Copies of this chain bind each other. A is one copy, B any other.
Amino acid sequence: MQSTRGIMKIVRAPAAVTAWSDRLRREGVTIGFVPTMGALHDGHRSLIRAARLACDALVVSIFVNPTQFGPQEDLAKYPRPIARDRALCRAEGVDICFEPTAAAMYPPGFQTIVSVPGIARRWEGEARPHHFAGVATVVTKLFGIVRPHIALFGQKDFQQAALVRRLVTDLNLGVEIAVQPTVREPDGLAMSSRNVYLSADQRAAAPLLYRSLQAGAAAIRRGVREGSAVERVMADVVRREASVTVEYLAVCDPVTLEPLTAVDRRAVLLGSVRLGSVRLIDNLLVTVGVKR
């Protein structure tokens, strides 16, 4: 193996990343990939470290993908601390920091759309109508450009990870998808680049989402099996705080993301709440009959 360690390259041209990847693949090098929108936090750091351990060569992409934002969403104000992001990547041993422009990703005439209608239908897909087509399309493109053996995603965006698994299987993309556990603040709030939008009061109330998911998981461990009963337990926790509005709190099949009437094997508790104009999401996996 020809080592590329030590000097991180910042690459903007998709074709240059593909050429690098093709060369390494011919040499038998295993390529890991962590796609991000930048504003990297400890959640991303954990993905990058896991990839670094699992692979010989490592690409992180930083691309705030316009097609996955709705017209009323935060594309313009999405945080872009690029110098800090690059420093984090460098410190974690990333080989290529891929920073394509929107013009290179979506040149004139671009029109192809990848959609995963079943998984995208509910939850985040309902709140954000074109979001998941944007995600599915950009992930397909990034996989085509980077040609990784393994790509890592955070469990925090559970529906996104399920969608990526589905599309990789359905389109025979041949990329192994590894999902890493959610990294949390000490009070339980899932790390997210959007947490910076929270005011001090909102930040103090935000861990309620995770506590409501924990209450749902505890109910299942106590023997509650009816999906709607678990959902009531979760909703009761959030109701204590007037500044927090429930978008959804649901008990779902972890593969299809369809709501479960009865919890009988594995389930995912999916939640989204709003604090002012900030939407937060989180989730917990639960396996019935196995003590945690």
Contacts and interface: CB of A to CB of B under 8 A. Distances in A.
Interface of A: 14, 18, 25-26, 28, 109-119, 136-137, 140-141, 144-145, 147, 166-167, 170-174, 255-256
B14 A172 contact: yes
A172 B18 contact: yes
Of the candidates A26, A111, A174, the one having the most CB atoms from chain B within 10 angstroms of its own CB is A111
Contacts of A25: 25-26
Contacts of A117: 111, 113
23 contacts: A18-B174, A25-B25, A26-B28, A109-B118, A109-B166, A109-B255, A109-B256, A110-B170, A111-B116, A111-B166, A112-B114, A112-B167, A112-B170, A112-B171, A113-B114, A113-B116, A114-B114, A114-B171, A144-B171, A144-B172, A144-B174, A145-B172, A147-B174
A140 B137 CA distance: 12
Nearest to A146: B172
A79 to B, nearest CB: 27
A26 B147 CA distance: 14
Given A18-B174, A172-B144, A113 B111 contact: no
A114 B224 CA distance: 41
Contacts of A137: 171
Contact of A141 (B113, B144, B172): B172
Contacts of A170: 110-112, 141
B116 A115 contact: no
A189 to B, nearest CB: 33
A182 B113 CA distance: 29
Contacts of A111: 116-119, 166, 170
Given A112-B171, A114-B171, A145-B172, 12 more contacts: A109-B118, A109-B256, A111-B116, A111-B117, A111-B118, A112-B114, A112-B116, A112-B166, A113-B114, A113-B116, A144-B172, A147-B174
Of the candidates A116, A141, A170, the one having the most CB atoms from chain B within 10 angstroms of its own CB is A170
Of the candidates A113, A116, A166, A172, the one having the most CB atoms from chain B within 10 angstroms of its own CB is A172
A255 B172 CA distance: 28
A113 B120 CA distance: 12
A18 B149 CA distance: 13
Contacts of A112: 114-116, 136, 166-167, 170-171
A210 B292 CA distance: 71
A20 to B, nearest CB: 13
Contacts of A171: 112, 114, 137, 140-141, 144
Contacts of A109: 118, 166, 255-256
A107 to B, nearest CB: 8
Nearest to A28: B26
